Chains A and B, each alone.
Chain A
Amino acid sequence: MSDQVRSDTRLSSVSRDVRDQIADLQADYIAALDSQDMKGWLASFDENNSSYFCRSKENEDEGLEVGYMFDDCHERICDRVKFVDEIWAGTFEEYQTRHFLQPTRCKSLGEDLYSAQTNFTVMYTDDAGITKVLASGCYDDEIVVNGVARLRSRKAVLDTNVVPRYMVYPI
């Protein structure tokens, strides 16, 4: 990466206020998921227009759109909440997640839209109390910031190409 590009996408390239709002959004997002609060997860997305994709790096690198989760409109993000909370309820073995984030890049896309990259590691603990890594990867986001930050689109790209067992909750 050239010096020019690096300085344009550094976290410090956007105002402290914007950074704070984005940090709040990221914190709310993982706090919701780590307490299995799917409605809280939903609240992180822009209700007028948003999308959520979760896919492996293997597919991303080959330009293949297939994902573990492919919610290309806000309506389907809402539906995912219903699947987990109501339809699947009681059929899967609960697992506790812990998300750990590290923002790496941020850039203004004009008006109130920003792009951001954030590394993540997600640990999970099963019923037997054993903790393992669920996934490691990077969020590639577009975020609307206007007094409060909301996700316009989130793409969770997993370096973890072989996931353990199954995934119920989004990353």
Chain B
Amino acid sequence: MDARVTGGMDLNWPEPGVCDAVPYGVFNEREVYDREMERIYQGPTWNFLGLAVEVPNAGDYKSTFIGDIPVVMTRDDDGNIYAWENRCAHRGALVIRDSCGSSDGSHTCVYHQWSFNNKGDLIGVPFRRGLGGNGGMPDDFDMKENPVRKIRTEDYKGAVFGTFDWDMEDVDSYLGGDSVVNGHVKRIFNRPVKVLGHARQYIDSNWKFYAENTKDPYHASLLHLFHMTFGLYRSSQTGGVRLSNDWNSVLFSESGTDDEKAMEEIDDAHLRTFQSDYSLEDMSLLAGRAGEWNDNTTLVILSIMPSLVIQQIQNTLAVRQILPKSESEFELVWTFFGYEDDDEELTNIRLKQINLIGPAGMISMEDGESSVICQQAISRSRNARNVLQMGGRTPEDQDHLVTESTIRGFWKKYRELMAY
């Protein structure tokens, strides 16, 4: 193993098995980041690559990343989706240079025009036999032995995952088989989807500050005043958290179910508070359409580590892909979607409600900022630890929203994968 990837071993970790605190060094050391790229992103994890509908036809491709490694997913004539590292087998150039497109099934590197098929096999080398008797590759050069680096893929209900680990369990088991977490994945991907658009934002923070944020029901009603003001989400509502494989989690809630006693306690707490008498000029923003999934759930945040968030907030649906760029930067890519069978009115409801989410979203704008202000604060705090004790000290399923249980689950699995 790469010598650099031993970083972080000397950090001020709590006793093995304790996951209610972590040292801040994990958020800003290059050696830790390098180790993550090795042990997490190229290790036994499934990484989200995109939606299957983003490559609908044979020859279609989309370029993206696993961790900070450029990769490509393509659909072949056989109908399956393949993925490979976007690094030419010759001398390392990017094979695909645009974010998505269609091809005739061969992908040619611009540098010396080596070409590869959808599966990543080398199918063409210019001047392989030389020119006029000069040059050419050695006689024993074997095309079959020079593919691009291949990635195992699985199209799970329309969400495409990739892994560098060919011995991985399948995606269904990774998500927890019959778990509640996987049940929520199946609920959202219960019929064919269609892409409504994308948004991308570049955030100056370690990707794990954001991972924590997506597992944190505690902050949602305190940081996001829009939630609180309009009752979309309050800590007093019916809801809970569930884990699978420790670091995959779901948090869910039902609006309009506020426990009265809890509401009074919120009032008494004198928080940077909300005024409950706000009304909007255009109430249709929040009206939406109830019962789309034949249940009362209005908010679902699935955090599928290391790279994916799947969300339903009211009638909005989105996947967010977390793409680390360095120990202190990541890009967040939002893909908004609806269902193929949406009527026009429902599509409009979704477009309107997308105002709530994304980089300028009424209830997600603050998440980018919260990650940044954490990163700014920890520059010299490698051995100081955070506090993750809301709702207990262990990772566990809970039937309320006043907890950091799922964050503890994240760190438990993280320490295991990183061998800390």
Residues of A near any B CB (own CB < 8 A)? 54-56, 58-59, 62, 64-73, 75-76, 78-79, 82-83, 86-88, 90-93, 161-168
Contacts and interface: CB of A to CB of B under 8 A. Distances in A.
Nearest to A55: B197
A88 B360 contact: no
Contacts of B203: 165
Interface string B362-380: 1001101100110000000
Given A75-B282, A83-B226, A91-B272, 5 more contacts: A66-B196, A72-B352, A76-B355, A88-B226, A166-B369
Interface in B136-171: none
Contacts of B204: 165
Contact of B225 (A88, A93, A164): A88
A67 to B, nearest CB: 7
Nearest to B226: A87
A165 B229 contact: no
A76 B352 CA distance: 10
Contacts of A64: 195-198
B293 interface: no
A3 to B, nearest CB: 33
Contact of A70 (B200, B225, B355, B369): B355
B354 interface: yes
30 contacts: A56-B199, A58-B99, A59-B197, A64-B195, A64-B196, A65-B197, A65-B351, A66-B336, A69-B355, A69-B360, A76-B281, A83-B226, A87-B362, A88-B225, A88-B365, A91-B223, A91-B225, A91-B272, A93-B373, A162-B200, A162-B331, A163-B199, A164-B201, A165-B201, A166-B201, A166-B360, A166-B365, A166-B368, A166-B369, A167-B360
A56 B198 contact: yes
A164 B202 contact: yes
Given A64-B195, A64-B197, A162-B331, A70 B368 contact: no
A134 to B, nearest CB: 11
B359 A167 contact: yes
A135 to B, nearest CB: 11
A122 B51 CA distance: 33
B5 to A, nearest CB: 28
B354 A166 contact: no
A46 to B, nearest CB: 15
B386 to A, nearest CB: 21
Contacts of B281: 75-76, 78-79
A11 B175 CA distance: 58
A54 B199 CA distance: 11
Nearest to A128: B376
B358 interface: yes
A82 B225 CA distance: 13
Contacts of B354: 66-67, 70
B201 A76 contact: no
Interface in B213-255: 223, 225-226, 229
A67 B229 CA distance: 23
Contacts of A78: 281-282
3 A-B pairs with least C-beta separation: A66-B197, A75-B281, A75-B282
